[in-house]
Structure 1
Amino acid sequence: MGEVHIVGYHTCSLDNGLAHIQTHAPFHCNRERKQWLTHGYYFWTDSIHFAHEWGHQGYAGRYAIVKCSLNLDSTLLLDLVGNVEHQLYFGKLLKDYQARFAELKRTGRVPQNAEPTVSRIISHWRKKVRTDRRVFPYVAIKAQDGYSRVNIPFVDSGRECMPIPTRQQLCLFEEGYECIQNKELVHPSTV
């Protein structure tokens, strides 16, 4: 237990202007679109690097970045990047969900060719919180995808490699918004 301090970089569109961004960012993601870690406030963690990449890719270069300090109770963060116990727990949630998913397929409530996804699993367990908070007590999830630019072998002739950099995101759910302690517009420069 204890507190976890994370620096997060929130990338957003410049469409409403810098004054709006300074006052209202970070912004909740689009509820009409499927999201990797379900719905909430998204941050690239630890470095501004991927915030810039997302700005170029997702906003065609017309973007702003807000740097935020996030302070979370460690029991409220599901860390799928740096905590093996959390990864194993997510594996258990996946296994439990797979049985439910098979039933949904049998009854036609999901397409036959659909598969369990990270987003579906999280969404399912977040809905269960309404009746039993102990199953999924988290207000934030930190995860990474398989992206890396370089895979460096640990030893000669070894198959295992260290991927760098890893692309990590944190999704902060609405109920965790108060974990945002400080925010600062860092791109574009206002000086």
Structure 2
Amino acid sequence: MCVHYLETIGHHTCEKDGTKEKVLKNAPFLSEYNEDDNKTPFLGTGYYFWDNNIEMARLWGKWHYKNGYYIIEAKLILKKPDFFDLVGNRADMIYFRKLIKILEKKFRDKKWTVGKAIEFLKRLNNKCNGIFPFKVIRAVNDSDRIRRLKRGKEKYNFSNKDYIFLDPRIMICFVEKNDDIILNKKLIEER
């Protein structure tokens, strides 16, 4: 029996292009990594969801789809060993840091963003199976843009100097579309 590692709600924002039925049937939509065209999704090529964060889905729509957008909601089931969790699994974080250090040492002339490193590791895994076999990646993006927008919001003090932020920007990237782990899709918003 397979034990679920994490079940969550995902919010996928996409351009308002096509009928609601067509969009719902085909969502989520691929975000492709292409460094030459300056297309560099945070976690490489994949199908992106916000981890249970409708507000971020709306912000993404406003920032990226000036002619309108849809938000698709789905139940996501993320299981080991396919799930690489850079949010809640220290072993995965340590492993990824080791991989980045190896890349930086071997290719001293390259600047490694997370998305670029993941794309390289996916290609390397095709040659040396087992290095980066993951089909789902989950990570927090702590961008300056979000920090400025949410300064002081959802931030609670542990003490006078330390705090916890209870509204992080968590993304989930599916390397492949999989109807077995992206369930119960529904269109929940149109702008």
**Is the pair's TM-score, using the shorter chain for normalization, greater than 0.5?**
yes
Q: Which amino acid aligns with 2:100?
A: L
Could you tell me how far 1:61 is from its partner in structure 2? 6.2
Give the Cα–Cα distance (whole angstroms) in 2 for the partners of residues 162 and 123 of structure 1: 32
Match of 2:158 among 154, 158, 172: 154
- How far has the Cα of 1:91 moved from its partner? 0.7
* 1:140 and 1:176 in contact (8 A); partners too: no
Gap runs ≥5 in structure 2: none
Q: CA RMSD in A?
A: 2.0
TM-score by length of 1: 0.83
Cα 1:125–1:177 shift into 2, 3 Å? farther
SS of equivalent residue, structure 2 residue 102: helix
Whole-angstrom distance in 1 between the partners of 2:20 and 2:28: 12
Q: How does 1:70-81 map to 2 (within 5 A)?
A: 70-81=76-87
Query: Does residue 55 of the first structure (1) align with residue 61 of the second (2)?
Result: yes
Query: 1:170 maps to which residue?
Result: 172
- Aligned partners of 2:17 and 2:23 also within 8 Å: no
- Of all paired residues, the percent bearing the same amino acid is 28
Give the whole-Å Cα distance in 1 for the aligned partners of 2:14 and 2:85: 24
Cα distance between partner residues in 2 of 1:61 and 1:52: 13
Larger mean Cα displacement after TM superposition, 65-74 or 174-183: 174-183
Larger gyration radius, structure 1 or structure 2: 1
- CA distance in 1 between counterparts of 2:177 and 2:53 reads 25
User: Alpha-carbon deviation of 1:30?
Assistant: 3.8
1:78 match: secondary structure: strand
Aligned residue pairs total 177
Please list every run of 5 or more consecutive structure 1 residues that lacks an aligned counterpart in the other structure: none
Check the 8 A contact 2:12/2:57 in 1, yes or no.
Answer: yes
Deviation at 1:116, TM superposition (A): 1.4
- CA–CA distance in 2 between the matches of 1:22 and 1:75? 28
